[in-house]
Each structure stands twice: as C-alpha cells, then as structure tokens.
Amino acid sequence: MKRCPVNRERTTLVSRLSSELCSRTWSWATLILALLLAACNTTQQPLPDPPRDIGPGETAVFVTSNGWHSSIVVARADLPTDLLPETADFPEAQYFEFGWGDAAYYPAKETTLGMTLSAALVPTPAVVHVVGLDRHPADAFPQAEVITLAMDAQGLERILTFVDASFARNGAGRVAASGPGLYRNSRFYPATGSFHLFNTCNTWTAKALVAAVFDVDAGAATRAEGLMKQLRRRP
C-alpha cells in the first residue's frame, strides 16, 4: 500500500499553534477564575444606600459588600433563641455578620494559583465566617456598601433559618470554630455546601435572600456587584 507523505513542517506549525492557543486559553481562564474568587476577598469604595423606612412589624436586615464579597448582618436583638447557637462565642456583639466561602481560599492570608484553580474548578468544602460587631454595620465597615432591607417576621425567620442551616453541625447542637476569622472579633466555622465557580460567596448571600422571598436572581449574583445592583433597584 502506498503511504501518503507527511508534511513535517505543517505538522510542526499546527502543533505550535495548538500549543499557543491552549496556553492563551488557559491564561484567560486563570485570570477569570482569579477575578471571581477574588470576589470574596477585596475592597472598593462603597455606594451610598438611600434611607429605608422600617415599618411596623418589620425588621432591618443588612447586606454588606466591599465590592467583591457580600455578607448578611443581623442585630443580636433580632435573633431567635433556637437558631445560630454559635453566636454565643461573641457575648459582647450587638450585630452579627455572616459570610460564606471556600474553606481554604477564604481564610488564607496569602493565596496561590493552585488554591485559586482548585476552589474554582473543583467543588470544595466551605466555611461560614462570623463577625461579632459592637456597632451598626455602616459604622463598623465605613468603606463597605451597606444596604438595608425591611423584612417581616416570616422573611426574617426564613433568612435566619437559611443561615443557621449553613453551619455543618453533623447532628450536634453547636459546632466549634475551625479557626480565627479575618478580623479581631471573628471566627470561621465548618459549613454545608460546596464552593465552586458558579456557587460563590455572593451566590450564597443571594440564596439567603431568595429563601426570605426577596426577588433576587442568584444566578446573576456570582459577583458582588451583580447582587448589589439588584438590591439597589428595589422600590
């Protein structure tokens, strides 16, 4: 059988182009993943939230954002006694901030490319970050955007039940902290759920609001701005 001649120059060119394309694609993918994961770990200047009236029978729940990472803040006085027992670790706190994120990336003081790719490409364990605040969140985080949401009793119960279920207690009444938090009066706790590219810290915040029957698209809240933009548009 007569064999066709191999054009080695063309083969080498195709191989080189394929390699270059893969390299560029990988670089862009890495950049995108890093930006999305940084969505849980950076700051930017806040946008002012217009004053919101809290009507009779309503409770103020706050959503905070540093431009990349979002969290939920609730006053101690508004917590029921049968939920969130971990808040007992902060006896002096007047408010509690709850955030959720990747168990390795979120607490890390220094992050690596391997840590970034692992958190984004592979579903990884998560943690809840709890901060005990001694003042209103707008005063505690003057560089953050703080949006006030008015919730009725049912909405408050639903969002707090969602946050409570985010702690991985494994049948125990209360789970111990897995490590110190990012701030002086804060701690990390084992969490339910898995972190990945399409289930970020901001997605978690959005899902908590959905649980409270807020009109929020969690799928459009991968980045903090995607969530906060929706909340700013509300009546």
Look up residue 17 and give its two tokens: 């182009």
Q: Is residue 92 part of a domain?
A: yes
pLDDT value of position 40: 55
pLDDT value of position 116: 62
In order, the DSSP letters of 8-60 are: HHHHHHHHHHHHHHHHHHHHHHHHHHHHHHGGGS-B----PPPP----TT-EE
pLDDT value of position 56: 85
Number of domains in the chain: 1
Residue type, 98: F
Query: Residue 119: is its pLDDT beyond 80?
Result: no
Pairing between strand 124-133 and 186-195? antiparallel
Q: Is residue 2 part of a domain?
A: no
Under 8 Å between Cβ of 169 and 191: no
CA–CA separation, 223 and 202 (whole Å): 6
Q: Is residue 3 part of a domain?
A: no
**Average pLDDT rounded to a whole number, residues 189-206:** 94
Q: Is residue 91 part of a domain?
A: yes
In sequence order, the 6+-apart residues with CB closer than 8 A to the CB of 152 are 57, 58, 59
pTM for the model = 0.79
Q: Is residue 223 part of a domain?
A: yes
Task: Report pLDDT digits (tens) over 74-101.
Answer: 999 999 999 999 999 999 999 999 999 9
pLDDT value of position 117: 66
Q: Is residue 1 part of a domain?
A: no
E strands along the chain, which residues? 59-65, 70-75, 95-102, 124-133, 145-151, 179-180, 186-195
182: containing domain: 8-232
Look up residue 189 and give its two tokens: 């706790």
CA dihedral 168, 119, 64, 86 (to 10 degrees): 20
Band (pLDDT 50/70/90 cuts) for residue 225 is: very high
CA–CA separation, 62 and 59 (whole Å): 10
Task: Report pLDDT digits (tens) over 167-177.
Answer: 999 999 999 99
Q: Is residue 199 part of a domain?
A: yes
CA 185 to chain CA centroid, Å, is 19
Query: Residue 33: is its pLDDT beyond 80?
Result: no
| Mean pLDDT, rounded, of the chain | 82
Pairing between strand 59-65 and 145-151? antiparallel
Q: How far is CA 180 from CA 52, 69, 77, 107, 127, in A?
A: 34, 18, 25, 8, 12
CA–CA separation, 82 and 145 (whole Å): 30
Secondary structure tally for the chain: helices H, strands E = 6, 7
pLDDT value of position 226: 95
Look up residue 177 and give its two tokens: 């902290």
pLDDT value of position 108: 83
